Structure 1
């Protein structure tokens, strides 16, 4: 039995579930946090979405069919939670997705946990201009260094489509950074 299969078995066993869940959180918390943070941008929002993600994982572990890797399943939950958070936020605030993106940049500048320079801020602006799928693919490939087959399992789409999305995202980011006078 692989380590992952053992962890999943312990997560599904009521007698070992709490300890196994603690191990799961320790093992994946940072990776999931940064994945979520790249979607919602601010520390506070990422922290909230991460908590919701782990709650959903805990409640739904019995439904995990082990047809994909555990982390692919968890990343899919984290991605969906982050995107749902953004949609809820724009609805609550009564603003469009574009206005929400502009607000995210303003909030990012004010976030004490953001330690990027002007180039990092421009990269985030460029990312926010991308369509959702391209932004997700770019973040997973560039920042998290995931392989296309891993991203394919997480986003449930073909490797070919992912490669095309990544290529388009890179071109759009390069164009944005050149327009802002920053070299790529």
Structure 2
């Protein structure tokens, strides 16, 4: 596993860019896959968004200034690609983004790659009721155990605001699930 700084140097050198990019993909594809999957829900859609994310990373790596960690920058791209995907899907179906999310959750049971049970499905339904930012914060913290500092770089929001969003999201999810009982 190459250190981020060494990887970045190689990515910016024409003669090493392709091999360094292959290393970057190997190093980050699983984490980015799950980050995207928690947003778009469907495995096939996740694969498409992941591919678009890596294409964007490859094309724009020379524009990366190093103001944040490389992985934070990549997560920001993955997040934006995921949200753009949901918006495009909603537009195609002529429904709201929220309705598109709910449709994706309804289709989760049919997704051969979904390994969750009824409780996991209810959790996904509860998450879908949250505003977009709270969904992102909850998914990053709960499923990926991401630090607030890292989320702050990715979402370009203060740690305090993220902690508040996470706390509110938890309360809303608890209320949603309790009301199902």
Please give the range of the TM-score, normalised by the shorter of the 2 chains. Answer: over 0.9
> What do the CA deviations read for 1:100-128 (whole angstroms, capped 9, x no partner)?
12211221111110011100000000000
> What do the CA deviations read for 1:70-129 (whole angstroms, capped 9, x no partner)?
000000000000000000000011112232122112211111100111000000000000
How many angstroms apart in 1 are the aligned matches of 2:35 and 2:87? Answer: 17
How many angstroms apart in 1 are the aligned matches of 2:36 and 2:161? Answer: 22
> What do the CA deviations read for 1:35-81 (whole angstroms, capped 9, x no partner)?
00000001000000000000000000000001110000000000000
Q: Which runs of 5+ in 1 are unaligned?
A: none
How many angstroms apart in 2 are the aligned matches of 1:97 and 1:26? Answer: 31
Q: How many residues align?
A: 180
> What do the CA deviations read for 1:139-170 (whole angstroms, capped 9, x no partner)?
11111011100000000000110011000000
Given the alignment of the two structures, is residue 159 of structure 1 paired with residue 159 of structure 2, yes or no?
A: yes
Q: TM-score, normalised by structure 1?
A: 0.96
> Which residue does the alignment assign to 1:17?
17
Is the deviation greater in 101-110 or in 112-121? 101-110
CA contact (8 A) 2:49 2:81 kept: yes
> Which residue does the alignment assign to 1:68?
68
CA contact (8 A) 2:41 2:108 kept: yes
> Which residue does the alignment assign to 1:102?
102
> Which residue does the alignment assign to 1:120?
120
Deviation of residue 12 (structure 1)?
0.7
CA contact (8 A) 2:141 2:147 kept: yes
> Which residue does the alignment assign to 1:174?
174
CA contact (8 A) 2:36 2:79 kept: yes
SS of 2:107 mapped into structure 1: helix
SS of 2:5 mapped into structure 1: helix
Q: Which runs of 5+ in 2 are unaligned?
A: none
CA contact (8 A) 2:40 2:101 kept: no
